[in-house]
Amino acid sequence: MKCRRSFPILGFVLAAGLSAQVRFAPDAIAVDIDGKPFTTFHYGREANKPFLAPLRSASGKVVTRHFPQEIVAGESHDHLHHRGLWFSYDDVNGIKFWENDPSYTKGRIGRIVVRKANWKPGDRSGTLTATMDWQDPDGKTLLTEDRDMIFYSDPKLRTIDFKITLTAAEDVTFGDTKEGAFAIRLADNFTAKKGGKMVDADGRTGMANIWGKRSNWVDYTGEIDGEQLGVAIFDSPQNPRHPTYWHARDYGLFALNPFGQKAFDEQKEESQWKLPKGQKLVFRWRVVIHPGDAESAHLADLYKQYAGR
């Protein structure tokens, strides 16, 4: 694996014929796998939160929407705050970290500021670590987030493991809203209007049957440039409130939400998840970009392998 900052080589490790490479810019870290671009971690100062975009399949096809980072003719232009892959939530002590594009004026808008990021090469994988502060409109930090993102090399799959640790900088309450939390805005070809399909671990299909339900995983499939591709998110059994609720929409928003409760199920009591100052919450998720659909990709078996780690 290789690590570069502004193009000069800093160091490298090669693993069993597989290689990953990162290139550092002032506010972004690009990740290549096996010599091909995969994604870029943007610090997101212009977006009020960091994000990974674009995401690509092993065959090199972009599976995330380009907007608002790029304007592509014919592509949807809704929801400025939907950027690639991101993690945020819209009610942290009443502060909005989800619907928080700098152009928005509704509510008290917070921002997630990357403090540092580092690349750690490994055998057949590489880990990007980042530390960031969730700040209120006055610049006061409510949460510190430490994120590990492990990128794996594989001939057919693109897999990222996430470990996200939230530490309360003061007493924090996560309110009950559907607006969150770990999310991907998929390319328009994954939408129901363009023939995309959604299925969960329990065999339910379509937004009407999956949105607001709890499940171990959800997979979205669509066709891009003649190739059927899928994007799956796995919820780890180690997570609080596993299995998670899904805030997955048929227009391309693909999200899970461990914080909301009554927002998804009127029979539940309203959730007010309190995290006292100094205490931590840890979440683990896996993203898998694969050829074919959930059945041909053997997602049920892949999830068992992941859950048994």
Residue 124: predicted pLDDT: 83
- Cβ atoms of residues 251 and 193 within 8 Å: yes
pLDDT in tens, the chain (309 residues): 343 333 222 222 323 334 677 888 889 999 999 889 999 999 999 999 999 999 999 999 999 999 999 999 999 999 999 999 999 999 999 999 999 999 999 999 999 999 999 999 877 899 999 999 999 999 999 999 999 999 999 999 999 999 999 999 999 999 999 999 999 999 999 999 999 999 999 999 999 999 999 999 999 999 999 999 999 999 999 999 999 999 999 999 999 999 999 999 999 999 999 999 999 999 999 999 999 999 999 999 999 999 997
| Residue 119 identity | W
- Cβ atoms of residues 288 and 157 within 8 Å: yes
CA atoms of 28 and 30, how far apart (whole Å): 7
Domain ranges of the chain: 2-307
Closest-CA residue to 86 (of 304, 285, 303, 300) = 285
- Cβ atoms of residues 254 and 185 within 8 Å: yes
DSSP secondary structure code for residue 155 in this structure: S
User: Three-state SS for 23?
Assistant: strand
Beta-sheet pairing, 141-152 with 125-135:
antiparallel
CA atoms of 260 and 147, how far apart (whole Å): 21
Closest-CA residue to 56 (of 78, 40, 80, 79) = 40
Tokens matching residue 228: 């059927």
Closest-CA residue to 183 (of 81, 87, 61) = 87
Cα 46 from chain centroid (whole Å): 18
CA atoms of 252 and 231, how far apart (whole Å): 11
Peptide bond into 181 cis (omega under 30): yes
Q: Calculate ∠ Cα 70-73-79, nearest 5°.
A: 55
Which residue is it, tokens 């193009």? 7
Residue 9: predicted pLDDT: 25
- Cβ atoms of residues 94 and 172 within 8 Å: no
CA atoms of 39 and 219, how far apart (whole Å): 20
Residue 19: predicted pLDDT: 62
CATH topology of domain 2-307: Beta-galactosidase; Chain A, domain 5 (2.70.98)
